[in-house]
Amino acid sequence: MDFADSPDQAVFRGQVEDFFAKNFPAALAMRADEDPFSEEAMGGPATDKATAMKLWRAALVDKGWIAPAWPKEYGGADLSPMEQFILNETIAERNAPRVGVPDVGSTIMVHGTAEQKAEFLPPMVRGESRWCQGYSEPGSGSDLASLQTRAIRDGDDFVINGQKIWTSGAHLANMIFMLVRTDPEAPKHRGITYLLSPMNVPGIEVRPLVQMSDARGFNETFFEDVRVPVKNAVGEINRGWYVGATHLDFERSSIGSAVGQRKMLDTLKDYLIKERDSKSGKTRLGQVDAPRLEFADRYIEATVAKTLSQRVISMQARGLIPNYEASMTKVFATEFSQRIARTSTKLLGLYGGLRDRNSDYSPMKGRWATMYLSSVSATIAGGTSEIQRNVIATRGLGLPRG
């Protein structure tokens, strides 16, 4: 694994820094003391953030960095994995919002027809389509191939009936990509088709699932006699399982997550130093040994997280496909987020559990208490830690299946 930039990579890193210096609106950078859930942070109408976001998005589109891995003919920049790594690392270091295209575009790029590419890709680049993923079902989470949402062909349409769950952003999306069962008699991993559908067609109902952190990102999505054109099937009908598993060879090192976690620790450290005890002049970091040493462990783990990300991108740069290495990165990063949340609540004391954003007693407007609750789902979304450990055990260590 090579930690240093090559001469060409150093030149590209300089180009990225220059681009940010000239184009990134200062209004979009999150301040260390800013409430991430405030109207200002969320780009509400009372601020100039909405305008700044439009300018920032337009700059990325002009550069092709809105979809850095895509070919230039579709609005991308055709960047190499290492160039994407450098770009994403800089975005994270600058506290810049992640603006890009949904992963469904990569699947359409590989398996879609020319007509599908012309219809669906340009709106992604322009930011006109917002997608959600219809994969998980109440009885098909980790064992996704057991999904039961049925799609029966009727002439030029599929008629869909069933339910999806944990549909992130479905209440905001205008498009959905989903896996449906089109041949119930086929083996479990066969008979599945990958479909694209608008969300505003008759028969789709979205119900919110409110998390214990009060977040409203997850949803249940119900389909009742929903008609989707057969031409919206991506790839071969009944072979959608393999279409859904497709991803282009674009950077997935999670460097943004690793850098972001270190910056969370920086923010917490700065806050604790700022909030010195008025009598002793000490910070909470200096008052209690156990949390102080625990905080030091978190910083060490932040370096581990970044190193795991660098390992993944180093493999991709050599033309290798990370497998269990990516699972190691995922399970470490998500469990690390939970450890950061636990440490923060210890260091902040009893006030650390307050989540009232309007209370002067809530440290940083309840940011850390909210993180403590929301981090629970991190080890479930995108493949549970148990699944990741199975991959590491069987494919990494060569252990037999139980």
Torsion from C-alpha of 244, 248, 251, 253, nearest 10 degrees: 30
φ, ψ of residue 227 in degrees (nearest 5) = -100, 125
- In whole angstroms, what is the distance from residue 126 CA to residue 105 CA? 13
Sequence-separated (6 or more) residues with CB below 8 Å from residue 196: 104, 108, 116, 120, 175, 176, 177, 228, 232, 234
Q: DSSP secondary structure string, 346-397?
A: HHHGGGGG---TT-TTSGGGGHHHHHHHHGGGGGTTTS-HHHHHHHIIIIIS
Please report, for residues 267, 344, 363, 364, the alpha-carbon distance to residue 274 in angstroms, rounded to integers and kept in the order given: 11, 15, 12, 12
- In whole angstroms, what is the distance from residue 196 CA to residue 326 CA? 28
Q: Is 326 helix (H, G, I), strand (E, B) or coil?
A: helix
Helix axes 114-126, 104-111, angle to 10 degrees: 160
Length reported for the chain = 402
Q: DSSP secondary structure string, 26-67?
A: GGGSPPTT--TTSTTTTT-TTSSHHHHHHHHHHHHHHHTTTS
Helices (H), 139-254: 240-244
Q: Which of 165, 173, 168 is nearest to 142 (CA)?
A: 165
Catalytically active residues are 251
- In whole angstroms, what is the distance from residue 361 CA to residue 380 CA? 32
Residue 310, token pair as written in the block: 């660098």
Residue 171, token pair as written in the block: 């209440």
